[in-house]
Structure 1
Amino acid sequence: MRKTHPIIASYIPVVEGLARTFGEHCEVVLHDLTGDFSSTIIAIHNGHISGRQVGSPITNLALQSLRSAKDSDEDFDLNYRNDTIKGKQIKSSSIFIKDEQGAIIGSLCINLDITHLAKAQAMLGSMMAVEDKRGAQKTEENFAPTVGILMEQIIEDCLKRTGKPIALLQKEEKIQFIHLLDEMGLFLIKGAVQHVADLLDVSKFTIYNYLEKKSPQS
């Protein structure tokens, strides 16, 4: 039985600490890479995620990362997707452990099972999806505290669409303005017709007459 390097041994409590911090969906593994790669795991918590235990070997991807790290002096390989465990979505990170001379002697690996999180994300995405069926003429929804403020908001929005203040509206523009207000549902509000008539300095009869005319923009 090989002796564990003191630096690697110092990470054994870290394995348990991380696993207990992040819970049962987080597998934390400590590899001793100083000897035979056929049996590298010296500590593991939540091994049910990958089905491994103490004495299990390093993975092929870990071997590849180790080979790459030796050439580039990398210290870690973080947040990569791991689809090697059937039926699970795993987010993995590997941190390389080095000795006093900078040689890689071990690795601390974290495999987070995000399968349930991915399903929850998809469900939330579906719940948050919206459809814009109003096109370019979309109207922002206003949450007015009173009906009076609601009417003023609608009137202001329609005036912005005409591009002119009330005092400068010509007859055809007034007709267009009235039709815009009607499309916005303003005249469903009790007293709205009289309010608009007062704004335009016309009679209620004129408002109704404008509504019967075809809008210049239609």
Structure 2
Amino acid sequence: MKKTHPILASYIPVVEGLARTFGEHCEVVLHDLTDDISSSIIAIHNGHVSGRQIGSPVTNLALQSLRSAKVSEQAFDLNYRNDTIRGKQIKSSSIYIKDEQGEVIGSLCINLDMTHLSMAQAVIGSMIAIQDKRDEEKAEESFAPTVGDLMEQMIDDCLKRTAKPIALMQKEDKIQFIHQLDEMGLFLIKGAVQHVADLLDVSKFTIYNYLDKKTPQ
């Protein structure tokens, strides 16, 4: 039986440690590339991700990457998509292990099955999706503790749109202001008419009269 290189042997507990840390959807594999790559796997945990076991061969993509690593200073390939496992979405990383002379003798590979994560992401994305209301010219939803606070928030929002303080409003401005408040539904609140009348220093009759007038163009 072939003896495992001491450097590779030191990585065997790392394989189990990483797999147990990241859980059942994370496959961690240790390849011995010093001899027969047709049975290169010497340690593997969560092999159900790819359906492999100890004694299984290196992948075709790993062969291509291995060749590149041998002719360059490349130390790893990180976070690449792996489509070799049908029906699964796999994110893979390969770290090349070298001996004292700098020769590649093995690789530590991590294959994360993101299939369930992608499904969860789609569900969560749908749940947290919000519609941008700015184009609809609607106020942001406010959660006021009292009806008085609610009225003040609505009035403040309307004043921001008007961009003119009440003290500088002319009659036409006040009519437009009243109509905007009406469109916002403020006057559905009991006591709102009197509150706005006091704010504008006019009578309730004036408010109703303004509401009967068309909005200035």
TM-score over 0.5 for the pair: yes
* Structure 2 equivalent of residue 201 of structure 1: 201
* Structure 1 equivalent of residue 184 of structure 2: 184
Show structure 2 runs of 5+ residues with no match. none
Aligned residues: 217
* Structure 2 equivalent of residue 65 of structure 1: 65
* Structure 2 equivalent of residue 121 of structure 1: 121
For the residue of structure 2 that corresponds to 1:42, the secondary structure is strand
Distance in 2 separating the partners of 1:10 and 1:39: 19
For the residue of structure 2 that corresponds to 1:34, the secondary structure is coil
For the residue of structure 1 that corresponds to 2:96, the secondary structure is strand
Aligned residue identity for 1:122: A
1:131 Cα deviation from its structure 2 partner: 2.7
Distance in 2 separating the partners of 1:104 and 1:170: 83
* Structure 1 equivalent of residue 76 of structure 2: 76
1:133 Cα deviation from its structure 2 partner: 5.7
Show structure 1 runs of 5+ residues with no match. none
Distance in 1 separating the partners of 2:132 and 2:69: 49
Distance in 2 separating the partners of 1:61 and 1:27: 17
For the residue of structure 1 that corresponds to 2:39, the secondary structure is coil
Distance in 2 separating the partners of 1:156 and 1:64: 65
The equivalences for 1:130-145 within 5 A come to 130-132=130-132, 135-145=135-145
* Structure 2 equivalent of residue 11 of structure 1: 11
1:67 Cα deviation from its structure 2 partner: 1.4
Identity percentage of aligned residues: 82
Are the counterparts in 1 of residues 94 and 108 from structure 2 also a CA contact under 8 Å? yes
1:91 Cα deviation from its structure 2 partner: 1.0
Are the counterparts in 1 of residues 133 and 140 from structure 2 also a CA contact under 8 Å? no
Distance in 1 separating the partners of 2:18 and 2:134: 50
For the residue of structure 1 that corresponds to 2:74, the secondary structure is coil
Is it true that 1:94 corresponds to 2:94 in the alignment?
yes
Are the counterparts in 1 of residues 31 and 107 from structure 2 also a CA contact under 8 Å? yes
Distance in 1 separating the partners of 2:160 and 2:46: 62
Q: Write the deviation string for residues 9-51 of structure 1: whole angstroms up to 9, x where unpaired.
A: 1111111111122222111111001012211111111111111
For the residue of structure 1 that corresponds to 2:81, the secondary structure is strand
For the residue of structure 1 that corresponds to 2:30, the secondary structure is strand
Tell which deviates more after alignment, 97-106 or 155-164. 155-164
For the residue of structure 2 that corresponds to 1:72, the secondary structure is coil
Cα distance change on mapping 1:83 and 1:11 into 2, 3 Å: same
* Structure 2 equivalent of residue 26 of structure 1: 26
Is it true that 1:42 corresponds to 2:42 in the alignment?
yes
Is it true that 1:56 corresponds to 2:64 in the alignment?
no
Distance in 2 separating the partners of 1:183 and 1:68: 68
Distance in 1 separating the partners of 2:38 and 2:134: 63
Distance in 1 separating the partners of 2:8 and 2:134: 62
Is it true that 1:172 corresponds to 2:172 in the alignment?
yes
Distance in 2 separating the partners of 1:132 and 1:97: 50
